[in-house]
Amino acid sequence: MVFAREGFGRSTVEQVCEQAGFTRGAFYSNFTSLDELFLAIWEQRSDEMQSDLAAFLTQEPPPVSSLREAVEHVLSAVPLDDEWYRVTAEFTAHALRNPALRRVMARREERIEAGLMPTLEALLARVGRRVVDPAALGPALVACHDGTSVQCLIEPDNVAVRQRRTDLFVLLVTAHTVEAGSATDTAPQETP
Amino acid sequence: MVFAREGFGRSTVEQVCEQAGFTRGAFYSNFTSLDELFLAIWEQRSDEMQSDLAAFLTQEPPPVSSLREAVEHVLSAVPLDDEWYRVTAEFTAHALRNPALRRVMARREERIEAGLMPTLEALLARVGRRVVDPAALGPALVACHDGTSVQCLIEPDNVAVRQRRTDLFVLLVTAHTVEAGSATDTAPQETP
DNA sequence: TGTATCCGATACAACTCTGTATCGGAAGGG
DNA sequence: CCCTTCCGATACAGAGTTGTATCGGATACA
């Protein structure tokens, strides 16, 4: 992917076409600008990943026996794809400057949450836990995923980073759930 | 800042010089490339922000009376600077493709943690809490900060996002601390 | 089989950016 | 007061990029 290698701003129509195996003539008869192509690619791939995630999660009910295992199973469906995260970082930077793309990013998050939460809740139910506030847990998971993904890719050789990533997810899920029988239905407990 | 407006890859030496009020001749007698300037600017500004953070936090011991107030105080020292976060997003995307910049990013995180944690621990001590595992809390805070900052800037009009951001920080700090008298000294408790 | 339509390749003209080389002036040292 | 040194401005040449216009072939349809 040219955008991952060069950065979006430095990519040229020529480079993209060369790698894709067609010419600039072909490009300009299908798109009007690189921006448009970038958006199209990102949306398509983003949709694919969400479909993959959803498919993976719903496919076979795994025999999880603890909350951590449930989290690990979900995380295993979200690979740390180096190239793809570079493209996403480019897209994020681009979106922060472009209202139209901002909406695309917002939709992406909504769809991730929509695809993730039901399965996650089902998995957690199996280990006897109930999510208290899905509307808070979803965004928190996405934010932590994005934040820790960058950390993992910035220090690819630091295994502790990846370990902490998992721990953080477990922590989040733990704090946002209660034992299934519990009557508590408020926001995550703050002990002090 | 040109990099925030145009994106790094689309910025030209000409644009940068125009805004800064000098000419390309002046530029090339002080830097060898835009990459170098970008790195210099980002490191300098990043250092400034860390100094500001440290100064703000150590300056006057605020009269916090709860863990949440302590967190809110710290967060108030980290403003959601729209322009600056755009530059950071650009830098992040750039760093994911460039090992030298990766190291700069890693150092940035270390310095944030180094500047933040002592004061945070002091503040928390004042409300009767002790951090259990600073080496885990620091990176988690940074990751969540970066992740939620994007969310806030992607949906600037959504106040719920900003609220959840604060809640998330409170949650993280809560989970990584114990009551000051407690003997517990293990990793954050996972109840189930 | 002939024709119309579509799509991609090639060619082209205009523009933009980069990096360097040369020139002029200002500041500092002797 | 002169001279040297440094720094920024201007000018220029080379390279690369964009978007369009024209051409050729393939495919679908009558």
Alpha carbon distance A87, A153 (integer Å): 13
The chain-wide mean pLDDT, for chain B, equals 91
State residue B192's pLDDT score.
53
pLDDT of A26-71, one tens digit each? 999 999 999 999 999 999 988 888 888 888 877 776 788 999 999 9
B21 conformational bin, left if phi > 0, alpha if psi -120 to 50, beta if neither: left
State residue B58's pLDDT score.
75
Alpha carbon distance A158, A155 (integer Å): 6
State residue A188's pLDDT score.
52
Token pair in block for residue B71: 């967190």
Token pair in block for residue B80: 């959601």
Nearest to A164 among B89, B139, B165 (CB): B139
Beta carbons of A102 and A95 less than 8 angstroms apart: yes
State residue B111's pLDDT score.
92
CB pairs under 8 A between A and B: 160
**Burial (0-12, 13-18, 19+ Cβ within 10 Å), A89:** buried
**B107 touches A at CB < 8 Å:** no
Token pair in block for residue A187: 């926001």
Q: Which CATH number fits domain A2-179: 1.10.1040.50, 3.90.110.10, 1.10.357.10, 1.10.760.10?
A: 1.10.357.10
**Contact A139/B161, CB-based, under 8 Å?**
yes
Distance A20 CA to C2 C1' (A): 35
* Strand C nucleotides within 7 Å of a protein CB: 7-11, 16-22
Distance A24 CA to C9 C1' (A): 9
State residue B53's pLDDT score.
85
Mutate to test the interface with A, among B8, B12, B66, B96 (most CBs of A within 10 A): B96
Alpha carbon distance B131, B57 (integer Å): 17
**Contact A93/B86, CB-based, under 8 Å?**
yes
DSSP per position, B7-31: -TTT--HHHHHHHHT--HHHHHTT-
Class of the CATH domain delimited by B46-179: mainly alpha
Domain boundaries of chain B, sorted by first residue:
46-179
The chain-wide mean pLDDT, for chain A, equals 91
State residue A138's pLDDT score.
97
State residue A42's pLDDT score.
92
User: What are the per-10-residue average pLDDT scores of chain A (192 residues)?
Assistant: 93 94 93 93 89 82 88 90 94 95 95 91 93 96 98 96 97 95 58 51
**Contact A89/B89, CB-based, under 8 Å?**
yes
Distance from CA of B140 to the nearest CA of A (A): 7
Please name the residue that has the structure tokens 């808070």: A136
* Residues from chain A contacting residue B93 (CB–CB below 8 Å): 7-8, 86, 89-90, 92-93
**Residues lower than pLDDT 50 in chain B:** 187, 189, 191
Residue B5 CB closer than 7 angstroms to strand C?
no
For the packed helices B99-126 and B82-95, what is the interaxial angle rounded to 10 degrees?
A: 130
For residues A126, A129, A134, A138, the Cα torsion angle rounded to the nearest 10 degrees is -70
State residue A62's pLDDT score.
77
